[in-house]
Amino acid sequence: MADISASMVMELRQRTGLGMMECKKVLAEAAGDLAKAEELLRIRSGAKASKAAGRITAEGIVGAYLAADGKTGAMVEVNCETDFVSRNEDFIAFAKALAQLVAEANPADVAALAALAHGGGSVETVRQALVQKIGENMSIRRFKRFATQARLVQYLHGGGRIGVTVEIDGGDEQTGKDVAMHIAASAAPGAVRPVCVARSEVPADLIERERTIYAAQAAESGKPPEIAAKMVEGRINKFLAEVTLLGQAFVKNPDDTVEKHLKAHGASVKSFEIYVVGEGLEKRKEDFAAEVAAMTKA
């Protein structure tokens, strides 16, 4: 049997990110051959990742990166199965590293990001190794890269469960942060999420849909046609104020709109993006009794 030194175990651990005992065991199987041991671990981590791939990943964090000059940045949503793992240091570091990779390499899609070189292998091999190490499935859901001649401001809320990037021109750093915080607050229950910056950007089909609904409501009210028409226009104006960033009441001072706040600080918003972890995904339903029963039968 080959003599497995502590330095060999440490080197394999650094290459794979897996536990010391697991690395020592595989090195013994591979008769001290580091390359063969690494290959065995990657094969096994791939198998484990494949086995876990069917499990729901609706928790996670938004990884964010902003270049020093504030001109380039990115956000990446990385999902896992439980909130506990979303606070794992290795998981958080992985999400942050992916955001930087997106900003610097500009991959076309998630598959292209997964193929990028990272951590001595590829993003995908690192993901698989994390699945092996942590014991939960994890997936890269989406990302967006930002590049501007103006300035980018980012804000993360709730430990990275909500991520916002704002492209802003003029104003100071705090102005940008305040607007980003306002957008993040719009993800709260009962709040209205802005769909775009200004009224001119609201999709025509969305306005037409609302107009049809309001017109039907006005017709049922029995009001004269000219009054009904004014009711419809009034509701459309209110709707446009609610769904546009500039028209919303500013969260830190509801007496002002976001537009007024920006003008008072000599700033304008060109675009924004908000990611809320797990939105639209099926949430995992915990059944601890069933899990314990399954473990006792295993």
Cα–Cα distance, 121 to 138 (Å, whole number): 18
Prediction pTM value: 0.76
The rounded distance, in Å, linking the Cα atoms of 185 and 62 is 16
E-assigned strand segments in 208-266: 249-250, 253-257
Q: In this predicted structure, what is the pLDDT of residue 283?
A: 62
Share of the chain above pLDDT 70, in %: 88
Q: Determine which of 44-48, 125-129, 223-227, 246-250 has the lowest per-residue pLDDT on average.
A: 44-48
pLDDT for position 265 = 96
Tell me how far apart the alpha carbons of residues 76 and 214 are, in angstroms, rounded to a whole number.
38
**Mean pLDDT confidence for 191-220:** 88
Tens of pLDDT, residue by residue over 148-202, are 999 999 999 999 999 999 999 999 999 999 999 999 999 888 888 999 999 999 9
CA–CA distance from 152 to each of 92, 165, 170 (Å)? 22, 7, 11
Mean pLDDT of 10-23: 78
Level-2 CATH architecture, domain 6-52: Orthogonal Bundle (1.10)
pLDDT in tens, 87-136: 999 999 999 999 999 999 999 999 999 999 998 899 999 999 999 888 88
Which of 39-53, 139-153, 271-285 is modeled with the greatest confidence?
139-153
Q: Give me the chain's average pLDDT, please.
A: 87
pLDDT computed for residue 298 by the predictor? 42
Specify the higher pLDDT residue, 273 or 205. Answer: 273
Give the CA distances from residue 132 to residues 59, 125, 142, 220, in Å, rounded to whole numbers and listed in that order. Answer: 18, 11, 22, 61
Does residue 286 have a pLDDT over 50? no
Q: Where are the domains of the chain?
A: 6-52, 199-264
CATH topology of domain 199-264: GTP Cyclohydrolase I; Chain A, domain 1 (1.10.286)
Mean pLDDT of 226-232: 87
